[in-house]
């Protein structure tokens, strides 16, 4: 079975309805793509939950070393990690019943995307939350 992203209408609905986004791999460096995307999403009103070891705070929010440590509710996990680092993230998403897993541009791991889908998680892969928000919501 090949992975397929949800239709754009579904992606738009996800972006309209989610409130709490855990950003795995969120860099504290403003020039990094993860920082720019998360900062923009925060400015659009989303609650950003940084997941990054060895950092106390990013974008004014407490940072968690691991996704499993986040005590707050999570509507979406937005991933800026290498494709070979996705399996443990999928494990936590399944364990916590997180409804949406978004793998950013270049983060392509079809086997893990299919595993997450099989567990009932909506998966969006190789797309950018910021770009999709601007194309589908801010147009």
Q: Residue with structure tokens 């998403």? A: 93
Angstrom CA distances, 46 to 15, 23, 89, 95, stand at 10, 11, 21, 23
Domain residue ranges in the chain: 8-136
- pTM here is 0.96
Count the Cβ atoms, other than its own, within 10 Å of residue 27: 18
Convert the pLDDT of each residue in 18-49 to its tens digit. Answer: 999 999 999 999 999 999 999 999 999 999 99
- pLDDT confidence tier of residue 1, bands split at 50, 70 and 90: low
CATH for 8-136 is 3.40.50.720
The per-residue pLDDT for range 63-115, each reduced to its tens digit, is 999 999 999 899 999 999 999 999 999 999 999 999 999 999 999 999 999 99
Question: For the purposes of burial, counting CB atoms within 10 Å of the CB of 75, is it exposed (0-12), middle (13-18) or buried (19 or more)?
Answer: middle
- What does the chain come to in residues? 139
């Amino acid at each position: 079975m090949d992975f397929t992203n949800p239709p754009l209408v579904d992606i738009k609905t996800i972006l309209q309805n989610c409130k709490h986004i855990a950003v795995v791999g969120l860099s504290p460096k403003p020039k990094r793509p993860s920082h720019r995307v998360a900062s923009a999403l925060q400015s659009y009103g989303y609650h950003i939950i940084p997941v990054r070891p060895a950092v106390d705070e990013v974008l004014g929010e407490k940072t968690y070393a691991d996704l499993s440590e986040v005590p707050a509710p999570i509507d979406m996990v937005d991933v800026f990690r290498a494709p070979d680092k996705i399996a443990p993230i999928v494990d936590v998403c399944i364990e916590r019943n997180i409804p949406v897993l978004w793998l950013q541009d270049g983060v392509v791991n079809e086997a893990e995307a299919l595993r997450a889908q099989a567990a009932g998680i909506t998966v969006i892969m190789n797309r950018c939350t910021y770009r999709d928000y601007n194309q589908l919501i801010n147009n």
